[in-house]
Amino acid sequence: MTAEAPVADAQRQRVLDHAAGVWSASSRYAVVLLLLLGIFAYFSMTQPDFLSQANIENLLTSSSILFVVSIGMTFVVLTGGIDLSVGSLLALSGIVLSTLFNDWGLAAPLAVLLTCLIAALIGGAINGVLIGKVGLSFFVVTLGTLSLYRGIVNIWSDTETTYITSGFVDGIGFGKLAGVPYPVWIMVATYVVGLVVLRWTYFGRDVYAVGGNIAAARLSGINVARTLILVYAIAGLCAGIAGVIQAGRLGAASPLVGESTPLDAAAAVLLGGTSFLGGVGGVTGTAVGVLFIGTLQNGLSIAAVSSFWQQVVTGAILIVAISIDRIQQQGGLRRRRGTGL
């Protein structure tokens, strides 16, 4: 890399560097991607209904809620944390939406917008401030808010499901644009925004830096507290969006939704190659991880496998996929502790 290197050389080098970067990033979820293609091909051949348009639509829309939550979770995991409260916040968002729309009589689009903003605010102001500013452990804080929000949901809703009869909210759950269901559009939009923010903003770099080495990030002048607050706000925002989709799909706000969401999202993020120590990974891997879980569950349902067996298979495949991935990446289990040279 010298200053007087010919321009063509520099450009070629840049392309090569970029290719190397893409390859090393994608190799983190290559195994899961292959498994996804594998089970997709398997179900296509063995289940005649699998490839039907209706089923593909169903597969994608039913994955959309987990997808959106998992994108938000990816940000948190990249900083070396985890947000266990996203499921409770998802349920809380449904109740907030129903209150704003049914009780306050706000217009549905405004109620939806406010719901998402409130969820982001809650995520940033409570989880974010306690973890980023006060310096409490992410595990303790989000375990606490998991229970706290769920309790509020149950008290507020009196454990009753409230119907939301709005064409707009229904549309979010079942409407289509250009033949593609809205939840799928939302899913794609969340992914694209997540990708852009992580790869093409300084904030995105901060997320990786904080997760990679929080002390070095702080010494470099990065505002670590603000980064963490924003990250938990993003997780909250995504939980809010997912809560709205959920309400649209049900036509109601149910206090029971989202019980298993935090762990499913964590599984998807992990499957997608994002390191639970932080600093390594990204939303593309998470997208592959969610689609893998969604495809597996959809295919097993069509094959009339009971939902309990689906749980067993999903769990087993999760462990196997991640083991293959780690063995492949480290060239063997033994080397785990080696640090290179």
Contact residues for another protein (CB under 8 A)? 1-3, 13, 16-18, 20-21, 200-203, 205-206, 208-209, 212-213, 215-223, 226, 279-280, 331, 334-335, 337-341
Output the six-digit token pair for 194. 């997540």
Of 205 and 326, CB closest to another protein: 205
Of 175 and 212, CB closest to another protein: 212
Of 20 and 312, CB closest to another protein: 20
- How far is it, in rounded angstroms, from Cα 113 to Cα 229? 21
Residue 75 Cβ vs another protein, minimum distance, rounded to whole Å: 13
Burial of 339 (0-12, 13-18, 19+ CB in 10 A): exposed
Of 167 and 331, CB closest to another protein: 331
Residue 287 Cβ vs another protein, minimum distance, rounded to whole Å: 21
- How far is it, in rounded angstroms, from Cα 179 to Cα 170? 16
Geometric angle at alpha carbon 32, from 91 and 285, rounded to 5°: 55
Residue 138 Cβ vs another protein, minimum distance, rounded to whole Å: 19
Residue 11 Cβ vs another protein, minimum distance, rounded to whole Å: 12
DSSP output for 2-31? -TTS-HHHHHHHHHHHHHHHHHHHHTTTHH
Q: Length of the chain in residues, anyone?
A: 341
Residue 19 Cβ vs another protein, minimum distance, rounded to whole Å: 10
Of 148 and 280, CB closest to another protein: 280
Strands (DSSP E) found in the chain: 162-163, 176-177, 180-181, 252-253
Residue bearing tokens 């689009």: 109
Of 209 and 247, CB closest to another protein: 209
Q: Helix H segments across 251-338?
A: 261-271, 283-302, 307-330
For residue 314, the SS3 value is helix
Residue 250 Cβ vs another protein, minimum distance, rounded to whole Å: 35
